Amino acid sequence: MDYCLTTNALCKHYKDFKALNNLSMHVPKGAIYGFVGKNGAGKTTLIRLICGLQLPTSGEFALYGVGNTDRKIAGCRRRIGAVVETPSVYLDATARENIREQYRVLGMPSFDGADELLAFVGLGDTGKKRVRNFSLGMRQRLGIAIALCGEPDFLMLDEPVNGLDPQGIIEIRELILKLNRERRITVLISSHILDELSRLATHYGFIDKGSMVKEISADELEAECRKCTRLVVSDTKLLCMALDRIGLEYRVASRTEADVYGEIKAADLVHVLDAAGCEMISMHAKNESLETYYMNLMGGGQNA
């Protein structure tokens, strides 16, 4: 498999704090890679290292197979675009003026393509409107447009939907999918908003305290998100005793709800519960969500 980005035992320490701790990851070419972790897990630190804004303490990374200590890494960085933390924009300029300024920074010979780029991100009709008067979602889309000025084939977005309203989230989601499908751009999205990532990602990397816990494709994740049966009963304490007796695995969700894993014969289960003095109120099949998978993977820790 071809990778846009790989890291090997990558570390970044600030005195006694380990922002990245032996991080090893693999971002496949053409993927939408969901980089998942709590706030402070090390997601932004990784992006800053890849962009060359900071240097690693130890370990290594490679862009398109070129190592970070290779002199060719500067050329590889020209193939990536990034929006780190918040979009860097000129508030008193228009969207088009922001794009033109980025073209100058990159040393591009002309401003051809600026209007097309703005139209692509849905800002083609903003005219002379100053960026300070843009909504948060519009600023985020402008930040992505600026990151696209050098025509990168790898885009890194740091919490791109953080703070957006539902409409803004939908617009960013559709833009990311469009970039991936129409322009074949590989996208790394760092986020802790799991529901939104589940609508986009083809691959996931779960990070905790600067270390990679697990990498998995969306297809593999779907297979691992276990099917279960949600039971609503009169008393889960009695339910647990009954399930322990017959050897079924379960997870208690509340005083009256529990998820039961494995093959269940409804008639047999009702009989066992009746003998235990537990009333069955309802049951239905359900799949484990990405959020539940993440919580189980991280040992039940609270998602930030």
pLDDT in tens, 58-76: 999 999 999 999 999 999 9
3-state class (DSSP) for residue 87: coil
pTM for this one?
0.80
Which string of DSSP letters, residue by residue, matches 101-149?
HHHHHTT-S--TTHHHHHHHTT-TT-TT-BGGGS-HHHHHHHHHHHHTT
Give 228-261 pLDDT, tens digit per residue: 888 999 999 999 999 998 888 888 989 999 988 8
For the chain, residues with pLDDT lower than 70 are 300-304
pLDDT of residue 249: 86
Residue 170: what are its φ and ψ, rounded to 5°? -60, -45
pLDDT of residue 292: 80
pLDDT of residue 112: 87
Specify which residues 23 forms β-bridges with. 10
pLDDT of residue 304: 39
Give 206-219 pLDDT, tens digit per residue: 999 999 999 999 99
